[in-house]
Amino acid sequence: MGKRRLVSFDWAMKRLLRSKANFKVLEGFLSELLKEEIRIVEILESESNQEGRFDKFNRLDLKAKTLDEEIILIEVQYEQEFDYLQRILYSTSKTVTEHMDKGQAYADIVKVISISILYFDLGQGKDYIYHGMTSFRGLNLQDELLLTSKQAQMFEKKFPYQLYPEYYLIKVNTFDDVAKNTLDEWIYFLKNEEIKEDFQAKGLREAKEILDILRLSDEDRKAYERYSDDLHYQASMVLSSYGSGKMDGIEQGVKQGIEQGVKQGVKQGIEQGVKQGLVESARKLFGCGMSRTEIAKILGIDENAF
């Protein structure tokens, strides 16, 4: 049986998953990631809802409110940002203040969970899923500060971190395509836009139906085709600039070799510059939606080189 062609998750967030009838897809993803049953009551207005040619290269976000009155921010990011960690801090802080009414008690501050689906390498680390939270540890005894029994009863929480924003970073490109659990099945889909027949993760069965291109309305299918055309156009622009990038790499390598003052340094510098240019172009093409196999064939490099 051939693969069922599915729309990308970012486009689905923009056009399909905001509908209440399709909440089960998002609820399934969130339930697998957060390890608890999540129910969405509404999708709130978010910061970026652009429809332009380059929106895949900008961030795309979705803000959901759960049955437990928590706010979940889901963001897809393709382009590298060195201050990305600070920006998600700003986003959660802004959400907290936006949902804080004048005169409201601090005890009523909304719980915010930030989820970033990243198609670029952020920071240094070997894992592909990271969880950040606030905890308080004793400087002398190294014990963790807990809530009192009265606080726990009032807030229905046990740990202070449950009152603070939490962050999940999913580094899609570093996932090895081996689904070891149901959450990995979701990440496999995020990376490959494919759901295997034996996948059992919550929400994926619904995603197979809702995100199936053949089941889209004529309007949505045409919109997605235009979106795909835009991605191919952007990929062509990146490929066209490859030659320039390659020459820049060679020039940089030669300069490095000359400065080293040895013939071997020149040779190594040229090779390193060319390789760097190829890898950079490959990463840009991958971010445009091209498969690793296609990129490797076009640029003549190994699929595992980027």
Q: Is 229 among the domain residues?
A: no
Residue 265's domain comprises 241-305
The conformation of residue 159, written as its DSSP 8-state character, comes to: S
pTM beyond cutoff 0.75: no
Q: What is the pLDDT of residue 53?
A: 42
Find the mean pLDDT for residues 184-204. Answer: 91
Beta bridge partners of 129: 170
Q: Which of 160, 182, 217 is the last residue of a domain?
A: 217
Mapped onto helix, strand or coil, the DSSP state of residue 139 is coil
119 shares its domain with 24:
yes
271 shares its domain with 199:
no
Asked if 201 and 183 count as a contact pair (C-beta separation under 8 A), the reply is yes
Amino acid at residue number 265: G
pLDDT for 151 beyond 70: yes
Long-range contacts of 88-93 (CB under 8 A, 24+ apart): 88/114, 88/116, 88/167, 91/47, 91/61, 92/165, 92/167, 93/165
pLDDT in tens, 134-150: 999 999 999 999 999 99
Q: Is 1 among the domain residues?
A: no
Q: What is the pLDDT of residue 268?
A: 67
Q: Is 228 among the domain residues?
A: no
Q: Is 235 among the domain residues?
A: no
Amino acid at residue number 267: K
pLDDT in tens, 93-111: 999 999 988 778 888 899 9
Helix and strand totals (H; E) in the chain: 10, 6
13 shares its domain with 128:
yes
pLDDT category of residue 210 using cuts at 50, 70 and 90: confident
11-25, 37-51, 68-82, 236-250: least confident range: 236-250
pLDDT for 82 beyond 80: yes
User: In this predicted model, which residue has the larger pLDDT, 245 or 158?
Assistant: 158
Q: What is the pLDDT of residue 54?
A: 44
pLDDT in tens, 255-305: 665 666 556 655 666 577 667 767 777 776 776 667 677 777 777 777 777
Query: How big is the CA angle at 208 (ends 203 and 214), to the nearest 5 degrees?
Result: 150
Q: Which of 185, 217, 249 is the last residue of a domain?
A: 217
Q: Is 2 among the domain residues?
A: no
77 shares its domain with 167:
yes
What is the Cα–Cα distance from 28 to 17, expressed in whole angstroms?
A: 12
Q: Is 121 among the domain residues?
A: yes
259 shares its domain with 293:
yes
Residue with tokens 């070997």: 126
14-18, 194-198, 246-250: least confident range: 246-250
36 shares its domain with 183:
yes
Q: In terms of Cα–Cα distance, which of 166, 186, 167, 182 is closest to 25?
A: 186
The conformation of residue 164, written as its DSSP 8-state character, comes to: S
With a pLDDT cut of 90, the percent of the chain lying above it is: 39
Number of domains comprising the chain: 2
45 shares its domain with 189:
yes
Q: Is 3 among the domain residues?
A: no
Q: Is 4 among the domain residues?
A: no
200 shares its domain with 249:
no
Q: Which of 201, 217, 233 is the last residue of a domain?
A: 217
